[in-house]
Chains A and B, each alone.
Chain A
Amino acid sequence: MVLLLLAACGARVPVPATDLNHTPNSALLAMMTDETVTSSERIERILKEARPGNVAAVATLRHVLADRSQTAFILEYRASATFGLAPVENPYALPLDRGVERAMAAVALEAISSYRALPELLHALDDRDGLVAAHAARALLKLGCRSGISNLLASLERKAYESEIANRMLIESTGEDFGFDADIGMEAKARAATRWKTYWAKRSQDPTLLKGEGTPYVVGFDAIVDARIRTEVDIVGQFQFLFMEQSRKMLARLGDPALPFITEGLGRAKDKPTWRAGLAQALAGMGTAKSHAMLTELLGDPFPSVRSRSAEALVAVPGDVGRGALLRALKDVDPSVPLAALRAVGSSRREDAIPLLSGLKGPREVVEAAMVARFRVTRDKADRPAVVDLVEGGLSGARALALLALAEASFIELPDSATVDEGVRKAFLAAAAAAFGNC
């Protein structure tokens, strides 16, 4: 209780000594980059650690798993840091062909099944090798976290070895089989992948446990895990952009178990708008009812960027939650907030927003953004010329949105330089006009 109170007010809470005793096995780490060691020897060595309850190996396996290209930082023990841990540049990088070793680290962590690897497994979902992400997804499921399922679904559209293993894991976890096979041809594969996605959209709302699914983490269960997650909450408010981005994503993927830590973090971030805005962004990535409730509270934050990020996330939520947020955002005194909300109206194509947009008053940027938002929802031909006019004559925010709207409506990919290269922009507008003519 004392530790929780201290954590809430941001005082330094040291990492318990038990984790400090678990220092990485440097001999094993050295093997990973030793060119004289074969891949099978490395894999064999990693898998020796794959024993339930072998928590002492987690510190080493975390580093084998963490690839510098996707996990920019690791947490280093530092007595002076708030929770006894500080982020430092990740010095560990396996050569490009060592994806199997990282995947085996995830397999070993799955066998050990310790919450102490939660943050690293969540970071590993971004690994450039789909095999690593797939094994991390399954290890996470065992720790009660379903975030990796969306990675498995995305992997169905990747290379054969990634899609095959993703499909197998999905079958194992759900007991369903939609006939996916990497060799059945593009169309049949796409159909099977779509069936998986449709199934998961519904099944993900069902709390009935999947096969192999464990219990989600609860704050207070393990002081070491708490310290690691709290440190990631703090990184969201610190300086290094990539670290912030990766921690935000980690918290979003952790989902509801992260909420008590974020609540504490918002308390520590009382005087730090950047930190609160970062936490709002982490909440925006969760998509759960509890995270929506917290974001609704943040619509009352004194700093506009916190409100605009909250509004953008909430307005995309169907039903009353999103509608209520839109109503509040449109009345906000800072134009950034209605602008963010209008962007979300367009991207989520929320039809119930249309009546709220007609006759909207405010700064020119807001009025123009409302026009684009309406077009993105309705794709009404009558509004098209006005949106085309905004591409050249609108204010900057609306210009970029207008291009995006025309790309969506014409199903033509928007070239990266369309905003600045007149030739590219004209060619894009001509192609879009031709596509509209064909409709």
Chain B
Amino acid sequence: MNTRALLAIALLIGTIAAVLWLRDEDSNGSMSRTAESLPRFGRALTLSKSSDCKPCHEEVYNEWVGSQHGMAYVNPEVQRLSKGFRDRDCLPCHAPRPIPETGLGERALERLVDLEDGVDCFACHRNQDTMLGGTHITQAVDAPCNPMPSTAIKDLRTCTPCHDQHKVVQDWKETTYAVKGPGFKDCNGCHMPEVARAPTSTLPARKGKSHRFPASHDLATLKSAASMTVNLEGQTLGVVVRNDGTGHNFPADERHRTVDLTLVCELEDGTVATCRIDRYRNPYRDEFDLRNPLRTPGAEREYTVTLGSVGLVSVHALRVAADFNPNRKVYYAENTQIPSGEARQYRVSLPERVKRVTVRLLYKNQPFLADGEARVLHESVKNVGK
């Protein structure tokens, strides 16, 4: 065969490979993995509900039952918002079919049966006749769940079908946590912390991963997401809110999640007045009035807020850049969430008659919640003039 013929064959193979590559590339530019490429056990799976997993995995089952995954369908708030799931578009993520079958990284699809189980064991672990486990597990032939070790279970694309809707994983990719090395931490690193597992009849004592999935519904996790420091010099209050505990924006995910920085002032005459210094949130598209005035790291602004009957309070705000990769991709310009590693620094000029101030960082599950109904992440009380 002459050189020309060889070149022609090489060109043909290259073209076919390129077409195949183009066809497989998903919208995010990453290769998706389909059920066919994941391991299969080759024996019918007899389990169908999460409760079928309980006899052998009781500890994990109990963690999951109380988790937001376990209550994804029955959660009263979700039921209310979805009108008892008459809004059918909510079902794919609140009662998904097995993600490995739909395709890692692909949007989830609805299950329609065993809805009460919400995001059940099968959602992450099942692929056809097989239950996928971590790479440490063995392919136990006598286990009824047909277990197979697989890297898929730790793959972030098991989480993204439901949790990257608002770019949480995309945001993470631009942080220092996504850099391979000692500081690397992915979704599992924080939301599936390591726990000690007691020995069972079939397994020795070992380390496992928590299936409680602590996140915004867990106060300790919420409190660790961001820090707040407050100092007072004369009549000037300095506040710094820093996203130094998460690998994504704060708050993250759903657009209704809100964090407010509030100021309560007690005056010498006993008057108590409250104001909101700032709000961190990704607004809905039809909330035209909500703007992001600090559009780039380093941006600053002067503004006033109304402190009840006391009058206006002037505020200077500065968007402090993150040390790592400060200029990140912006998906929605009006988003005021604090990216990982960034801070918001404020200088508040207090009115003369104030004797005590309380600064609070409040987490609200939805933006219309009153301050009293919010969860207090951090609080700092300062006596003015002392």
A interface with B by C-beta (< 8 Å): 9-12, 68-69, 72, 82, 89-91, 93, 95-96, 128, 234, 237-241, 244-245, 268, 271-275, 277, 303-305, 308, 335-336, 339-340, 363, 365, 395-397, 400, 403-404, 414, 416-421
Contact = CB atoms under 8 A, between A and B. Distances in A.
A397 B112 contact: yes
Q: Residue among B110, B111, B113 with the most chain A CB within 10 A? A: B113
A239 B107 contact: yes
Contacts of A10: 22-23
Contact of B112 (A89, A90, A335): A335
Contact of A416 (B80, B108, B164): B80
16 contacts: A10-B23, A11-B22, A91-B333, A96-B288, A239-B164, A241-B165, A305-B97, A336-B113, A339-B113, A363-B113, A395-B116, A400-B86, A403-B84, A414-B86, A417-B84, A421-B76
Contacts of B22: 10-12, 82
Nearest to B332: A89
B113 A335 contact: yes
Nearest to A72: B285
Interface of B: 19, 22-24, 26-28, 32, 34, 36, 73-74, 76, 79-80, 83-86, 89, 97, 101-103, 106-116, 164-165, 285-286, 288, 331-333
A419 B79 contact: yes
Contacts of A268: 23
A238 B285 contact: no
Interface residues of A: mostly helix, strand, loop or mixed? loop
A277 B26 CA distance: 16
B113 A69 contact: no
Contacts of B34: 271
Contact of B79 (A244, A336, A340, A417): A417
Contacts of A417: 76, 79-80, 84
A69 B19 contact: no
A239 B113 contact: no
Contact of A304 (B97, B107, B288): B97
Given A10-B23, A336-B111, A274 B165 contact: no
Nearest to A235: B27
A336 B84 contact: no
A244 B107 contact: yes
Nearest to B24: A271
B107 A274 contact: yes
Nearest to B112: A336
B143 to A, nearest CB: 24
Q: Residue among A82, A95, A275, A417 with the most chain B CB within 10 A? A: A417
B97 A420 contact: no
A207 to B, nearest CB: 33
Contacts of B89: 241, 245
B112 A274 contact: no
Nearest to A419: B84
Contacts of B288: 68-69, 93, 95-96
A69 B109 contact: no
Given A90-B285, A308-B112, 18 more contacts: A9-B19, A10-B23, A11-B23, A69-B286, A93-B288, A241-B107, A245-B89, A274-B102, A274-B103, A277-B109, A305-B110, A335-B113, A340-B112, A397-B112, A403-B84, A404-B86, A416-B80, A417-B80
Contacts of B83: 416
Q: Please provide the 5 A-B residue pairs with the shortest distance between their CB atoms, ordered closest to farther.
A: A69-B286, A419-B84, A238-B27, A336-B112, A396-B115
A396 B333 CA distance: 40
Given A69-B285, A305-B97, A400 B85 contact: yes
A416 B286 CA distance: 23
Contacts of A397: 112-113, 115
Nearest to B170: A239
Contacts of B107: 239, 241, 244, 274
B319 to A, nearest CB: 20
A95 B288 CA distance: 7
A91 B36 CA distance: 39
Contacts of A234: 27
